[in-house]
Amino acid sequence: MIKIILSLILSFSLLQCCSSKEVLSYLCKVDGKKAKEEKYQNIEKNLSRAINLFVVDNDLYLDYNFKKIYNKYKEMKSNYLKLKVIDRLSAVQGFDNGVVHNENFEDNDHHMSTLEVRTTGQGPNTNFYSSDNFVPFDDNIHKNINQSITDQAFLIGIAALDKKNINEFIENFLTKGRCQGGDKYGKVISERNFNGVHIILESEPEWFVGKGQVNSFAYTVYYTKVTDKIYEKSLYY
């Protein structure tokens, strides 16, 4: 989904002047490294991460109750967040693709999220959650990422996130991407346990320095059951 939206953003952004070079620059030393993507090497190019396998192999399923999440979503009245479920929806509830109807939603390619209930195909109650997100690449990037995770956690049913921990988590993610760049698989990943849930942040290194003239920051969030397993180090052929 992110790739599709990116093409739309690029078309729109060519008409604009972008001055986002200084965003996140405070995180690194003046002579610090710029975010870059390292290339695959030898046998490692045949390895990759797979969130579905990570969840299945470690039994990291989360509860899912359509009625609860649907009612919370309607209560939220979000203007930027879409919800996609696995249930068959009525015409009143939503659309054939599982997206719940939201009359408050406003199309904004620079600031939008889609939270999706994911199924692993292992039978009933073997679900987890993921979201594709765009926020403006500006001085409010930390605040907007925080808001998206907080809203999504509310829908999933996660207890209120500790403000200090979630802020530190996001800051570490932004610092890692901006100052260290991507790993050999072209990704920037941070993960941490919160209130019984394992939250994973993932993006690509070029988003941390401003991707061309695009004035947005794209990232994915995965939500699984709490675990001491590390998604970043879980590689599959």
Which of the residue ranges 49-58, 76-85, 95-104, 211-220 would you say has the lowest mean pLDDT?
211-220
pLDDT at residue number 28: 87
- What confidence category does residue 10 fall into, taking pLDDT thresholds of 50, 70 and 90? very low
Checking if the pLDDT of 12 tops 50, the result is: no
56 HSE (CA, 13 A, CB side)? 12
pTM to 2 decimals? 0.86
pLDDT at residue number 15: 38
DSSP notation for the chain? -HHHHHHHHHHHHTTS----TTTTGGGS-TTPPPP--PPP-GGGGG-B--HHHHHHHTT--B---HHHHHHHHHHH--SSEEEE-SSPPPTTTB-TTSBBP-TT----TTSEEEEEEEE-SSSTT-EEEEEEEEEESSTTHHHHHHHHHHHHHHHHTPPPPPHHHHHHHHHHHHHIIIII---TTS-EEEEEEETTEEEEEEE-GGGGS--TT--EEEEEEEEEE--S--GGG--B-
pLDDT at residue number 212: 61
- What confidence category does residue 30 fall into, taking pLDDT thresholds of 50, 70 and 90? very low
- What confidence category does residue 47 fall into, taking pLDDT thresholds of 50, 70 and 90? confident
pLDDT digit string, tens, across residues 159-191 = 999 999 999 999 999 999 999 999 999 999 999
Q: Please state, rounded to an integer, the average pLDDT across all residues of the chain.
A: 88
pLDDT at residue number 21: 62
pLDDT at residue number 133: 98
pLDDT at residue number 237: 84
Mean pLDDT of 41-46: 56
